[in-house]
Structure 1
Amino acid sequence: MSFVGKVLVVVQVVLSVCFMGFAGAVFTAQTNWRNESLKLKDNVASMQKNMNELESEYSNYKTEMTQKMNDALSQAQTAKAANDALKAQNKSYQNQLETVRAERDTSVAQAETTGEEANFRRQESDRQRVVNKTLHDTINDLRANIKSLEDTIFTKSIQEKTLTAKHNKVLEELNYLNKIVSNLGIDPNDPAIAGMQAPPPAVEGVIINTKKDKRNGTRFVEVSLGSDDGLSKGHQLYVYRFGNKENGNRPKYLGKIELVYVDPDTAVGTVIDAAKNGVIEKGDHVNSKL
């Protein structure tokens, strides 16, 4: 073998080793990128789950805070109305008191004219003093009630400010969560998301049609309820049938459906839980609560 041939053989061996190392590096890098991709997918799924839990907690918290704020406002309005009524009653008592004082002064002046008449007027004055004392005591009680109601109004005002601050804080947290949801590429106004965020309202309707998909065996049920009744895609309804005299008129549970399509007046759902001893038929009833 000539010298040039030997050099070419050596060069070929060196290049083979280099290509082998390059292939190993490419394989290692590909494996690392694949692991990173799986980790990112797991992180996205975890963040989605946390977001759903936060949205559920926020919905419950918002409902509770709104109810408390409405109750506080109602109590404050009731207290204010009672306060106005007491003020009007107090003014009426003051007018009565002025009238009684005028009558007493007139009686005293007339009592000084004659002795006999004076004794009578003195007795009348004593009676008027008793009335005056009663009126004074009543006025003092009313003033105490007014002071108590003013304190109540002040306390309710502080509670209202606190609830308003909490409400604003919750709104800020909601805006922050909406930004996170938007960054994840999820539309918060999606009907499916809305259906998962809140339970269905208390509704009751009937099944107007049933159909079975021959390809995959899925059973579809059309109900007489829709978005006008507060339903959304993803809501679940229970199916039952009214009883008869043989079973004591007790309703019979037939299964549960999940809505997959909703329009204003009707909705279509798939059977996700069917009772073993019953078949869902047209005319059966659906309800959002058992």
Structure 2
Amino acid sequence: MNLLGKSFSVLILLLSVVFMVLALAVNASHRNWRDVVLADDGLKAQIETIARTNSELRDSRARTQASLDREQAARRTALAALQTQLDQLESQLRESESTVQQLQAKNTELAQLDRSRAEELEKLTAETSRLRESVRKEQQDRDTLFAETLTLTDQMNSLRGVVQLQQDRNDQLMTQVTRYKEVVDAAGLNMNDPLDGAPPERNGNVLVINRPRKLVEVSIGYDDGLREGHFLEVTRGGRYVTRLRVRETEPDRAVAEILRDYSEGTIQEGDRVDTSIE
């Protein structure tokens, strides 16, 4: 029993100590809530400050709302203006797309034209190259011709000297011929007379035929070198006909006798008459 009583005594002691500590703690933590509320920085002052702040915030919210409303109205106005501008831009865009399509078509046409002109340019370039080669060849030919011209010019100048010498010699010979003619005329000589008695090579035609007298008149005479006694050969188309002997002569005609012994055909007007037959 003593042990049990001692145990309870100790337990009571411990509980007393615990309660005392709790009482001290409660006493230490006890506050005067009125002072706390009414103090300068108490809850009341804090509530009033919060109320003022809340009122200011409401006013600010009202001002902000009004500003927001004005801003929204302005934004709506701006949005409407932007929508109008957007519509205009869309219209311009459609017009631009149409213009772009036209430009694309034009660009395609220009590209085709450019290709055709490029092909034409290639042809012209080839033609130009050919022409340049031709011009180069022509220049070479011209240079060759120029060199030949210089050579021929030199030769011509040289020949001019020769011609001048020949001209001088010709003048001298003409002077001599004139002197010889004067001497021949003074001596009563005819330059047409053959030196060996034979007539010069001449030809003519039978003009008139006198068959009873066996005489013919021919178209060549004294001035052609015919003299009395000369013989003439008569042909027709290359065939021999007969022979004639000249009996009389005039300056441009003569009378000849038909030699029957040499006749191989009948003489006719227009037959060819030659002083000799090769």
The TM tier, using the shorter chain, reads 0.3 to 0.5
User: Bigger relative contact order, structure 1 or 2, given CA contacts below 8 A and separation 6+?
Assistant: 1
* Structure with larger Rg: 2
TM-score with structure 1 setting the length: 0.37
TM-score with structure 2 setting the length: 0.38
